[in-house]
Amino acid sequence: MVLSYREALNQAMREEMRRDPRICLIGEEVAYYQGAFKVSKGFVEEFGPQRVIDTPITEAGFTGLAIGAAMAGLHPIVELMTMNFGIVALDQIVNNAAKIRYMSGGQLSVPLVIRGPGSAAHQLGAQHSQSLEAWFCHVPGLKVITPATPHDAKGLLKSAIRDRNPVIFIEAQLLYGTKGEVREGEYTIPIGVAEVKRAGRDVTIVAYSKMLLLALEAADQLSREGIEAEVIDPRTLKPLDLQTIVSSVKKTGRLVIVEEGWRFCGLGAQIAESVYSAAFDYLDAPIRRVTGEDVPIPYSRPLEDAAIPDRPRVIEAVKSLL
């Protein structure tokens, strides 16, 4: 069946909340407003206000509350109106959620999902347009998931909810209205497993979240020019399925990494280092990275467009390796 990205997320949470009464949803406007992006449409009517909980604008407070609830046996889902507001809750996420299992010697766990929209989305300004996944990936104890399609969003969110560890689940805001085929019935997708979204022989392109759609568009255009790119979606950034990426690079000999986040200390740098360590002898050219510019995302639409990767930049990067 065909669902939008937001519908797939709604379906995943609804199925899991029906399955397990310990699961609850907490965040700003998740109940009666049905979520800032309508992901929790119909939830308070079905599950009631004790399981679908509206909060004040206090990210550190309700994230800490959810961590305590998880330690006590519940399985909370925290919806942040934007992942940028996760910065306000960073102390709770980094110093509590990510560390409690380790510091308790495994006696306590934090089965918690923190989800919400990330990256730029048409003139939201510098404070609401950031791609912060590299921050979260840097922290031991956190899993980080960035699905690009409705099918992957549903299957991975269900796996995240069932996981016994804290999971950061980042949904690019511009993906909410996109549509795609979603498998009928019950299914999950394993955390930490990448997928080859398009087979090719000449170059490997690794891209995630909404950059995956950009990479697929670039690959289609390159194909018309006789260049066949293999496009890989990591889907999970931590743990990263390096084996799938390396296997592709060994076949193509070339790698382009596309990410919307800032270049310096970006996630692509980690992927590149890992590939160099594992497959250096198979590379026929240096690894290229296509990234966001190292600037706060501008409000001006032309400047915003200039700061974010686009299809011509991906195509140029591929051709420079050939």
Give the residue among 39, 82, 37, 77 at the shortest CA–CA distance from 57.
82
DSSP 26: E
Angle at CA of residue 319, ends 313 and 322, nearest 5°: 155
Name 205's bridge partners: 231, 256
Any catalytic annotation for residue 128? yes
Residue of 128, 133, 171, 230 with catalytic role? 128
d(CA 113, CA 210): 21
Whether 59 sits among the annotated catalytic residues: the reply is yes
Closest CA to 116 of 167, 80, 168, 158: 80
Say how far apart CA 134 and CA 295 lie, in whole Å.
Answer: 16
257 DSSP β-pair partners:
206, 289
Of 59, 133, 171, 259, catalytic: 59
Kindly report whether the peptide bond that precedes residue 309 is cis, defined as omega within 30 degrees of 0: no
CA 179 – CA 6 distance, rounded (Å):
9
Q: Which residues are catalytic?
A: 59, 128
